[in-house]
Chains A and B, each alone.
Chain A
């Protein structure tokens, strides 16, 4: 019976995709290890400037984050296009900073409080006015250790 031998000789064999799950799992594990869960949603544009003389912030739990930048498109009708401040999950005024700092301090163990650092994540198109105001508020509550969070790269990337 030649019924089963009809296949022509020139047919390409199907590509074996058995290893595809392995490849995808590898990618998956890479992303799981290299990233952290977003803990608060950013409502502002937050493209950080570049710098290369950076120090790493190693104690994640001892960092307070202050974000600043232009509101995202969806919020512009309500908050305008001027640079705004974001603390935790909401838009804030500069005058809200002391309360925020006190709340953060309160949530940490007492012996760790002197090591708290404030990380300023400010969009690179922001004016220094708001940054100066933030620094002034931080000085008032004696939160003197700050860190301007930046991407790692040459400063020439900032000039565009």
Chain B
């Protein structure tokens, strides 16, 4: 701030503290409440902006830590990540990405409407945004329930169950399912039919002395029950990070929905925050774009590993 403020102070003094805000729906002139610590509206608005950006920086660091954990484990265990991510549904992820991208657009429209003091347009755009985010949450919910159904949730990463489920879902279909989830590992079909030693038949002379395991989906060879356990645990790492990151993201979405709902309520009540000011909407818009961008990173990192 410069000496500009000195001159601005006079005009600011006019608005300071006086509570009556004339709803001036056509002039487009906003006279937001000026809080006592600020000199003028300009200073107040700039403060909000700087504050919001600073907050978003902390948010970036917040997610950044998880992204770091993700990249460290992905470099450490490329195979596991590659395999485990196949349990995620790319179509659902894509729909969600589209939903969020669109919602960012509708949010821009909402802010725009507020700036031009178009009350109903604002409410409508916010409504669409909320709707889209509910679509997003709904699909996330479906994804989560599938994972839980498959036994891939924190505390129980059940590879065995997941693989069977996967087999049930995808059996007979062409495409990438043919080989099952783990390319380095018995394919699902093999597992289902009782996996036999890396495609070596008992007649093979090299198989002499190797005990054959009974058939069944999850008896691994060589009497090493740890296999299933081991795969579960490795895959667990992927899903731990998946749940941690998408969960944290979903919490942010929910908070966003709540805030947008509040905005709609305020707009319905013709509250000066909406009629005389557009900063609240713009701040929430900024937040929303941030949440969106996080997903833009999450989607390829989780769903599109290659």
A and B interact: no
